[in-house]
Amino acid sequence: MTAAGDRLGPTLFERSRPGRGGGKVPHPPKDTLSRIPSDQLRAEGPNLPEVAEPELTRHFVNLSQLNYAVDSGFYPLGSCTMKWNPKVNEWAARLTGFASLHPFAPDELAQGTLQLLWEVEQWLAEIAGMRAVTLQPSAGAQGELTGILMVRAYHRSRGDLARTEVLVPDSAHGTNPATASMAGFATVSIPSAPDGGVDLDAFRAALSPKTAAVMITNPSTLGLFESRIGELLAAVHAAGALAYMDGANLNAIMGRFKPGEAGFDVMHFNVHKTFSTPHGGGGPGAGPVGVGEKLLPFLPVPRVLREPDGLFRLERPGERTASIGRVRSFAGNTGVLVRAYAYLRAHGASGLREVSDDAVLAANYMKSQVTGVLDVPFSRHCMHEFVASSATLKAQTGIRTLDVAKRLIDYGFHPPTIYFPLTVEEALLIEPTETEALETLDAFVQALRSIVDEAHSDPDLLHSAPHSSPVRRLDEATAARQPNLRWRPMTGRQMPCPD
C-alpha cells in the first residue's frame, strides 16, 4: 500500500495459492518428456510461488517503495559514488539490437556492439593514459583479480617466481587484500601517514624482491589524492614490482590525472561509479582493466579487435597464448557497457573533466560546511569525498556514528558510508557526487547540525533512530545465530507473516 496503510507485505510464498497465475506460455504436447529416462526427471515440481500478475505487480511495486534510492533522494554513500543514472542509458541498453544479440553471434552479425565495445576501450584507455583496456571483468573486484593475475603472469614470464607479496595500504578497500589472496599472494599491509597518505618510509621498508605489486587506491578511500605518488611509483619500479591502481575513485580526477601517464602499470575502472551505470541494488557493474605496455600480452581473452578494413571481431581461441585466459564467459557485461558508452558520449572530453571538477567541488564544499559540526580529520583539500568522524561527539555524548547515521534516515537522507575506512575512528565517508544540487547539500549539512544538537539535548532520540522508516533497527544477532535464508512453509521456526 503506497499512500496509506502498513507498508510491509507478505512474501511471494505467502501470497501463493495453488492454481494461480499462468497465461504466459502455450501448453506443450502432453507426452513430450517421455523420451527422457524417468530417473533424469523431477518427481515433483519445484515449490515456486503461484501468483496472478496483479498480485505480483503490487508485491514488487510496494517492495520497491520500501527502498531508498538515488531516484528518490540524496545518497552520499562514500566510496560507492551514487551519482545520477541517466535515463537515456536505460533506454539504450534496451534497444533490441543490443539486448537481443546472442553472445556467440558471429562477428558479422555483431558489428554494432563490437564497435561500441571497441570505442569504450579507446575512451577508457585515453582517460586513464593506458595502452589498452579489457572490458571483460564483471565488477571492480573481478577487475582487480584480472589485474593481479596479469601481474603474476608477467613476473612468471620473466622467470621471477620469488614475488609472492602484494603491498596494500591499510586504508584500502577490502577487495584489495581479498584479491591478493585469490591470486595466491600474501598481503602486506602498509600504514598510513598522519596526512592520510601512504607512509613513504614504511612503504619503502616493505618493498622487497618478494614484492609482486603494490595496490594503491588513488584518490584514496579517505578521499585524498596521494600526493607522494611520484615517489611511490619510483620506489615500486625500482624494486622490480608493478604498480596497480585501484581506479574506483577515478571519478574525481578525469582530465586531471592519467594513471598510465604517471607510471601505473595496471588499473581497474568501476563503470558503475565513474560512468554512472546503475548500482542495481547490489549490481551489476563492470570493472574494465587498463594496462601499460608490460602487461599487454597478458590481457584476458577475448579482446575486441579492429581489422584494417574497419570491421570488428573478437579474438579467436588460441590466438594470443600469453593471455591469462578467460575470467568469465563471453565478452563481458555488455549491457552495462552500453550505458557507460552513452555516458561517455554525452559528456565528451569537456564534460568528463567537468564531472570530476564538480564532484571535487561539491565534496570540498560539504567538507567546509561539515567542519565544525563533526570532526574532519584531514584538513587538506579532498577529492570527490571526505571523511568525517563522530569521535568528539561520542566522547561528549556517547552518540556513535551509527546513531548519527540512523537519525539521518529520519531526516530523509541515506546515511554516508560508516566505519570505513577502518583507519579512522567513528568514520563517516561522505560522497556527494557531482549531480546533487546545492540546496540538497545544504539540507544534508543542516540535518547533521540538527542531529548534533539532538545528541546533546535528546540522545535517546538518536539511540532509537530511525523512527520514520518502514522498519526500525533490526535484530542482526538472531539473524546470524539462527539463519533463516529461505522461505520454508509450515515450520515452527520461521517468523510470523506481518499480515
Partner 1 sequence: MAYGPHTPEDRAAMLEAIGVSSVDELFADIPADLRASDLQLPPPESEVELTRRLRDMAGRNRVDLASFLGAGAYRHFVPAVVDELLLRGEFYTAYTPYQPEISQGTLQTIYEYQSMMAELTGMEVISASHYDGASATAEAALMTCRATRRERVLVSHAVHPHYCQTLGTYFVGANLVADEIPLVAEGPAAGTTDLAALERMLADVDRPVAGVVMANPNFLGLLEPMAEAGSLAHAAGALFVAVVEPVSLAVLASPAFYGADIACGEGQPLGIPLAYGGPYLGILGCRESLVRQIPGRLVGMTTDIDGKRAFVMTLRAREQDIRREKAASNICTNQALCALAASIYLAAIGPHGLRDVATLGAARAAELENALAEAGAPRLHPGPYLNEFAVRVPHARAVHRKLLSRGVLAGLVIAEVIPDDPSLADALLVCATEVTTAYEIGEFAWALRDEIERGRQLILPGMADSHVADSQSAERTEGGAR
Count of CA atoms in the C-beta half-sphere (13 A) of 206: 24
- What type of residue sits at position 57? T
Rounded Cα gap, residues 397 and 302, in angstroms: 57
Nearer to its own copies, 74 or 203 (CB): 74
Site residues for ligand PLP, window 410-449 (CB under 6 A)? none
Helices 140-157, 175-182: axis angle to 10 degrees equals 40
Helices 438-457, 334-370: axis angle to 10 degrees equals 60
Q: 336 CB contacts (<8 Å, ≥6 apart)? A: 93, 271, 272, 277, 284, 285, 286
Task: Note whether 419 binds its own copies by CB under 8 A.
Answer: no
Task: Note whether 275 binds its own copies by CB under 8 A.
Answer: no
| Least distance in angstroms from the C-beta of 321 to ligand PLP | 29
Span interacting with partner 1, options 203-211, 235-243, 423-431, 433-441, rule CB under 8 A: 433-441
Task: Note whether 270 binds ligand PLP by CB under 6 A.
Answer: yes
- Give yes or no for a contact between 434 and 378, defined as CB atoms under 8 angstroms apart: no
**Residues 48-87: x where in contact with ligand PLP by CB under 6 A, - otherwise, as a string:** -------------------------------xx-------
Q: 455 CB contacts (<8 Å, ≥6 apart)? A: 393, 396, 397, 399, 403, 404, 462
- Give yes or no for a contact between 186 and 166, defined as CB atoms under 8 angstroms apart: yes
Span interacting with its own copies, options 52-60, 205-213, 235-243, 374-382, rule CB under 8 A: 52-60
**Binding at 339: pick from partner 1, its own copies, ligand PLP, none (beta carbon under 5-8 Å per type):** none
Task: Note whether 214 binds ligand PLP by CB under 6 A.
Answer: no
Rounded Cα gap, residues 254 and 234, in angstroms: 23
Q: Give the three-state DSSP class for 60.
A: helix
Task: Note whether 346 binds its own copies by CB under 8 A.
Answer: yes
Contacting its own copies (CB under 8 A), which of 298, 411, 420, 444? 411
Burial (0-12, 13-18, 19+ Cβ within 10 Å), 241: buried
Which CA distances in Å does 494 have to 48, 475, 487? 18, 14, 8
> Residue 58 gets which letter from DSSP?
H
| Least distance in angstroms from the C-beta of 393 to ligand PLP | 26
Query: From its phi and psi, is residue 476 left (phi > 0), alpha (psi between -120 and 50) or beta?
Result: alpha
Site residues for ligand PLP, window 287-316 (CB under 6 A)? 287
Task: Note whether 157 binds partner 1 by CB under 8 A.
Answer: no
Task: Note whether 339 binds ligand PLP by CB under 6 A.
Answer: no
Number of other CB atoms surrounding residue 439 within 10 Å: 8
Task: Note whether 274 binds ligand PLP by CB under 6 A.
Answer: no
Nearer to its own copies, 145 or 363 (CB): 363
**Residues 172-191: x where in contact with partner 1 by CB under 8 A, - otherwise, as a string:** -xxx-xxxxxxxx--x----
Contacting ligand PLP (CB under 6 A), which of 223, 278, 285, 416? 285
Nearer to ligand PLP, 211 or 218 (CB): 218
| Least distance in angstroms from the C-beta of 172 to ligand PLP | 7
Contacting partner 1 (CB under 8 A), which of 49, 191, 297, 459? 49
Task: Note whether 263 binds its own copies by CB under 8 A.
Answer: no
**Binding at 450: pick from its own copies, ligand PLP, partner 1, none (beta carbon under 5-8 Å per type):** none
- Give yes or no for a contact between 387 and 247, defined as CB atoms under 8 angstroms apart: no
The binding site for ligand PLP (CB under 6 A) comprises 79-80, 139-141, 173, 175, 217, 221, 246, 248, 270, 285, 287
